[in-house]
A and B are shown apart, each in its own frame.
Chain A
Amino acid sequence: MKKKLFALLLAAAMGISLVACAEQPDAGQSQSPDPSQTQSGTPDPSQSPEQESDLQYVKDKGTLVVGITNFAPMDYKEEGSDEWIGFDADMARLFAESLGVTVEFQEITWDYKVMELDSKAIDVVWNGMTLNDEVMAAMGTSTPYCTNYQTLVYLSDRAADFEGLTSLEGLNIAVESGSAGEDAAEALGATTVPVQSQANTLMEVAAGTSDAAVIDVLMAAEMTGEGTSYDNLSYSLNLNDTQGLASEEYGVGFRQGSDLVEEFNQFWADKVADDTVLEVATTYGLQDAVILD
């Protein structure tokens, strides 16, 4: 009898926990109509007073969580130091200061940047992010602040095969899955080999499993040549020119419809005006790449 009672109790507990599970999505649904209503009700969510202000959320929380990957010269650490530096890191610190909150850097997996923002694991993606259609559709993006182009990386021994190419047809080109480099390689007729990161594309080239790689020129400069494991790799070609495209532009990404975008643009304009941007860019050798108008 005792055992049966105990078993019944257990069953009841299970039942209750099931009900609790069933209620959770309900709670989610009852909350979700608010944002969807505001979105359909007002075409510009940033001006909607009903929607919770992202700026206020960050201020209340007291921290601005900046999503980054370890990416010199934008966000990186000096040897033997535990502090994030770089053009983006330094500017992010100043931005947080202007909001009156503390900055917190969080390394993320680049593929999940939109999910990181939407689940509020981070507040902003600030990591030399190329403004392409996907990014602009999924995030609230700032005005562009830096220029970049895609370049071709290959084994130095085979440089003669690649210099001055105008088409990549018939070549196996390693690219970061979902990157601007992948778009460029496809547009130029290459057979692409999508891998997880720009760093992995170089491993493909070094191991001879791909003919060449297409990555950001800022990154190619940082990762190849003397003092790296890739001293046998070289890069050349501006593939944006080859395609007849303008250079790419870097921007900062916030949650879609966030009022932090406007706050950021204002902050950036002020910092350009008082030459802070140029000063910080020069520190990291980006004075030619940064946009100052």
Chain B
Amino acid sequence: MFQSIYDFFSNPQTQTVLSALNSGFLVTLQLFVITLAGALPLGLLISLGSMNRMRPFGWIARHLGIIPRRRVAVWICSFRPVSAICRLLVWIIRGTPLVLQIIALYYVPGIEKWFYWPSSNGRMIAVCLAFILNYACYFSEIYRGGIQGVPVGQQEAGQVLGMTKGQIFFKVTLLQMVKRIVPPMSNEIITLVKDTSLARVIALQEVIWMGESFMKGNSGISGLTWPLFFTAVYYLIFSGVATILLGRLEKKLNYFQ
């Protein structure tokens, strides 16, 4: 048994395949890290935007001393443009397939002659942008749930203590939100690990692309099907590590109990 496993891994063909899969997995990792780094802060911005209560028309009307009476006027005065735009964005991004967003972001600018992606790393940049935007929208809803789940009493307690609004937001609301969102975030992050495989639609050579390449032929090896299925090992290990790390994070944030 051990001998056959050893034989398998010491076979030069296996080593060629594994080194190709490794290089593909590096691309997967890179995409994963960049997406998280971009989407975590952007998601918070979008969630704040979608909770923004600013009503500019109502504000103008109040300063002009107008009291809206008709239904349309009341609606306009209570309209929240920032929130509406953010929710529209979330609807569009969550409502269309990520794979379509990747294709559109990469090919449409060039076809419409707006701009051309650089030929060296344009694919990576386009895929990263698509992933960041997509995941930021999902994250924003998780943040919103976390922020709105903090009891109003907590903010009121902050006010009683004489904290400023900024202090209340960062030191009371955000602090309690972070620990609440870890489980749903973990879910989304594990999904991201596997979603990175969608990037191969525009020929970004991540680990599944590399696995598939040996069916057709790569590095003089063709007609091999096991590398494709072997990529599962990479995903399993990676999501296993992510699960453990996120579990630890959850324990660490186990304050205020």
Q: Do A and B come from one complex?
A: yes
Which A residues fall within an 8 A CB radius of B? 3-4, 7-8, 10-11, 14, 18, 24-25, 27-28, 31-32, 63, 65, 69-72, 76-81, 104, 106-109, 112, 115-116, 118-122, 197-200, 202-203, 206, 219, 222-224, 227-230
A115-B107, A229-B225 are contacts. A121–B117 as well, Cβ < 8 Å?
Answer: yes
Instruction: Contact check, B220 vs A69: say whether CB atoms are below 8 A apart.
Output: no
Contact yes or no, A199 B203, CB < 8 A: no
Give chain B nearest CB distance to A233 CB in angstroms: 9
Q: What are 12 residue pairs bridging A and B, where the CB atoms are less than 8 Å apart in the complex?
A: A8-B56, A11-B82, A72-B217, A77-B219, A81-B219, A109-B201, A119-B108, A198-B216, A202-B223, A223-B222, A224-B223, A229-B224
A24 engages B219 (CB within 8 Å): no
**1/0 per position for B215-251, CB-CB distance to A under 8 A?**
1111111111110000000000000000000000000
Question: What is the total of A-B residue contacts with beta carbons within 8 Å?
Answer: 129
A115 to B203: give the CA distance in the assembly, Å.
13
Which of B49, B59, B112, B217 is the one whose CB lies under 8 Å from A223? Answer: B217
Q: Which of A7, A72, A229 contacts B52, CB < 8 Å?
A: A7
Residues in B whose Cβ lies below 8 Å from that of A14? 81-82, 85
Asked if B171 CB lies within 8 Å of chain A CBs, one says no
Cβ-neighbour of B216 out of A11, A70, A81, A115 (below 8 A): A70
- Are A79 and B82 in contact (CB-based, < 8 A)? no
The complex places the Cα of A104 from the Cα of B120 at a distance, in Å, of: 9
Q: Are B203 and A107 in contact (CB under 8 A)?
A: yes
Please tell me if the beta carbons of B215 and A200 are within 8 angstroms of each other in the complex: yes
Q: Given the interface contacts A80-B219, A223-B222, does A121 sit within 8 Å of B112 by beta carbon? A: no
B residues within 8 A CB of A228? 222-224
A203/B113 contact (C-beta < 8 A), A7-B82, A119-B107 known: no
Does B150 lie at the interface of the complex (its beta carbon under 8 Å from any beta carbon of A)? no
Q: Which residues of A contact B219 (CB under 8 A)?
A: 77-81
B109 at interface by CB-CB < 8 Å: yes
Q: Which of B161-179 contact A (CB under 8 A)?
A: 165
Closest to B113 in A: A31
Are the CB atoms of B200 and A109 closer together than 8 Å?
A: yes
8 Å CB contact of B59 from A4, A31, A65, A116: A4
B16 smallest CB distance to A (angstroms): 6
When A11-B54, A14-B82 are in contact, do A202 and B215 touch as well, CB less than 8 Å?
yes
Query: Is B103 part of the contact surface with A, judged by Cβ < 8 Å?
Result: yes
B185-219 residues with Cβ-Cβ distance < 8 A to A are 200-203, 205, 212-213, 215-219
Quote the shortest CB–CB distance from B115 to chain A (angstroms). 9
Residues of B within 8 A of A116 (CB): 107
Least Cβ distance of A264 to chain B in Å? 20
The 8 lowest CB-CB distance pairs between A and B, nearest first, are A119-B110, A228-B223, A79-B220, A199-B216, A199-B215, A7-B54, A115-B107, A28-B112
- Complex Cα spacing A80 to B213, Å: 15
**B residues in contact with A202, CB < 8 Å:** 215, 223
Query: Per-residue CB proximity of B51-90 to A under 8 Å, as 1/0?
Result: 0101010010000000000000000000001100100000
Q: Are B216 and A223 in contact (CB under 8 A)?
A: yes
Are B16 and A80 touching (Cβ within 8 A)? yes
Contact across chains for B203 and A70 when beta carbons are under 8 A apart: no
- A228 CA to B218 CA in the complex, in Å? 12
In the complex, are the beta carbons of B220 and A203 less than 8 A apart?
no
CB of A11 within 8 A of CB of B116, answer no
Whether, in the assembled complex, B119 has its beta carbon less than 8 Å from a beta carbon of chain A, the answer is: yes
Q: Which residue of A lies closest to B13 (CB)?
A: A79
CB of B131 within 8 Å of the partner chain: no
- Cβ-based interface call for B122 (8 A): yes
B106 contacts the other chain (CB 8 A): yes
B103 close to A222 (CB less than 8 A): no
Chain B residues near A7 (CB-CB < 8 A): 52, 54, 82
Q: Does B160 contact A (CB under 8 A)?
A: no
Q: Could you tell me if B111 and A119 are in contact, using CB atoms closer than 8 angstroms?
A: yes
